[in-house]
Structure formats: structure tokens, C-alpha cells
Amino acid sequence: MSNAPRDWTVLSMLEWGTDYFKKREIPDPRHSIEWLLAEVLDIKRLDLYLKFDRPLSPGELDELRPLVKRRASHEPLQYIIGFTDFMNARLKVTPEVLIPRIETEQLVEIILDHFPDPEAERDILDIGTGSGCIPIALKQERPKWNLQAVDISEAALEVARENAQNLELGINFLNGDIHNWKELSLVGPFDLIVSNPPYVLPEEKDALEKQVVDHEPATALFTEDMETTYRSIIDCAEQHLKSNGRLYLELHELHAHQIKAFFDPQKWEVSIVQDYEQKERFIKAVIAQ
């Protein structure tokens, strides 16, 4: 650790680490060193601010150094510490799954707002579940809901199943490709279907942060054919939704109206919903009776 103080404390490490990450253009540099240091010290991140003068032992420094090096190489913080917080759940994340975003939390909140009765039983399908963040968050808030979740990656499903088991939540996870949805062993019909599919086009790759492009799974990020992906989900929904069932989609804010046009207006009532930054991020669609 160059230009480092001789005697390390929590405060000096926070200051040095923030500066070190800034120079390497790491997103959220202060946040990054806070999480890594809290992980090594096995304390809550906010508790660091109660321990500014605490000295760091040689063993703690030895444990911290490789973590700092990994973050400085733009490896996502969540993969380094092995988890992320989503809604009310702490979820395991690995390079096999996309790191859940704040926009997807809002998608869950939209669904919960539209189905406010905690005692009602509902049948739900999540397409492209990844870490399982969406069905897990829904099941925590609506324990009586029956949830199925599909992903093309068996490695991702292993992470999702572990997350659900750790939280003692009963969710049925299925391996399959939504483009071949007729081959999926779905147990419907469903009150709602939700999906956050890959929606970044290859030509948009350069606009993404280095930590995303270099480390997160490409199959969960990129789609070569956005129309085929969304039409497959819509076709599946038309076959498996109950009368007046709903479909919720997360999407690229630049393509919301294009995706809306994929819906048959004779079958669907479709609206675009903005996220917290007033970007056209979601679609809510209700199938006709």
C-alpha cells in the first residue's frame, strides 16, 4: 500500500482507500472501502464510524490487501464480499448471477402496490430469475403466494435455490429457455408474470461501466434480438395468464415504446411506468378477458 501511514487505523484506512479507489476510477470509492473494511473486521459498515481510532492488526491488513486489489481491478464489490442486500433480504451473489439493481427493487414495489392484500393467494411466475431476488422479495412480503421461477442458467439457479433455502422460503425453480417456453413444465395459470430479461444491445456495451462488462454474466445482460426475447415472454404470458392476469417487465428506458408496440392491442391494456429517476423503465400489461 503505497503512500500509506505507518500505523493503520480505521480512519486512516478509510481515507487512504477512498483516495486509492478514486485514482483508479472505481465507482463509489468511499462505499467500496467501507464495505471491504467492515467485512474484514466483521462489523456493520456504519459501526466503522464509531471506531475511527481502532488500530488494524497485521493479520487484518493481510486479509484486506487482496480484497482491495480485487476492487481496484474493477471487480464488483458484491462479488468480492459475496452478497448484496435486496429489499429485506441479504442474498448471495456470484459471477454466475447479475447483481440486483435498485430499479428491480422498484419493480417489486410496483407489484406489491398492485396486489396489497397479504392474505390473498396468488400464482406467480418469474422469468429470468438470476439470483432469485424478485420471487424471494415477493415471497417475503406475500407468504401465501405460490411462486415459480425460471432461468436458462443452472449455475444461476443453484445460487437462487440457496438464497431461498437460507431464508426458508418455498419457491419452485425451473431450468429452461423462455425462447422455448412451450417446453417448460409450468404449473399455471398465473395471476401475474414478471420478468427482468437481458435488454442491453451489443452496440450499447461501451456505455456500461467496466465492472459490469468485465465481470457480470453476459447472458443476463445482453440480447442480440430484443424483439424475440420480449415477444417470447408476451406469448408465454398470453398462454399462461389467468383472465385479467398481469405482466410486469423491466426494460431499457430507451426502448420502452418499441417494446410496448410488441403487444397486440386487441389482447392487452399496456402502460409504461417510470422509475425513480423518471426514466421509462417498466411495462405493466393486463390481458383482456
pLDDT value, residue 276: 93
* Closest CA relative to residue 63, chosen from 25, 5, 13, 12: 13
Beta carbons of 68 and 186 less than 8 angstroms apart: no
SS3 state of residue 219:
helix
Q: What is the mean pLDDT of residues 51-75?
A: 96
Q: What are the residue boundaries of the structural domains of the chain, listed by start?
A: 10-73, 94-287
pLDDT value, residue 148: 97
Give the model confidence (pLDDT) of 197-228 as tens digits.
998 888 888 888 989 999 999 999 888 889 99
Long-range contacts of 5-10 (CB under 8 A, 24+ apart): 7/55, 8/55, 8/56, 8/61, 9/52, 9/53, 9/54, 9/55, 9/56, 10/37, 10/41, 10/48, 10/51, 10/52, 10/53, 10/54, 10/56
173 beta partners: 149
Residues 6+ apart with CB under 8 A from 280: 251, 253, 256, 257, 272, 273, 274
Give the model confidence (pLDDT) of 160-186 as tens digits.
999 999 999 999 999 999 889 888 889
Between helix 133-141 and helix 154-166 the angle, nearest 10°, is 20
Q: What is the mean pLDDT of residues 71-88?
A: 96
Give the model confidence (pLDDT) of 103-118 as tens digits.
999 999 999 999 999 9
Give the model confidence (pLDDT) of 1-46 as tens digits.
556 666 899 999 999 999 999 999 999 999 999 999 999 999 999 9
Q: Which residue has the cell 412480503?
A: 141
Q: The pTM is what?
A: 0.92
Q: What is the mean pLDDT of residues 56-63?
A: 96
* Closest CA relative to residue 37, chosen from 71, 7, 3: 71
Q: Assess if CATH 3.40.50.150 describes domain 94-287.
A: yes
b/e sequence 63-101, b meaning 16+ C-beta within 10 Å: ebeebbeebbebbbbbbbbebbebbebebbbbebbbbbe
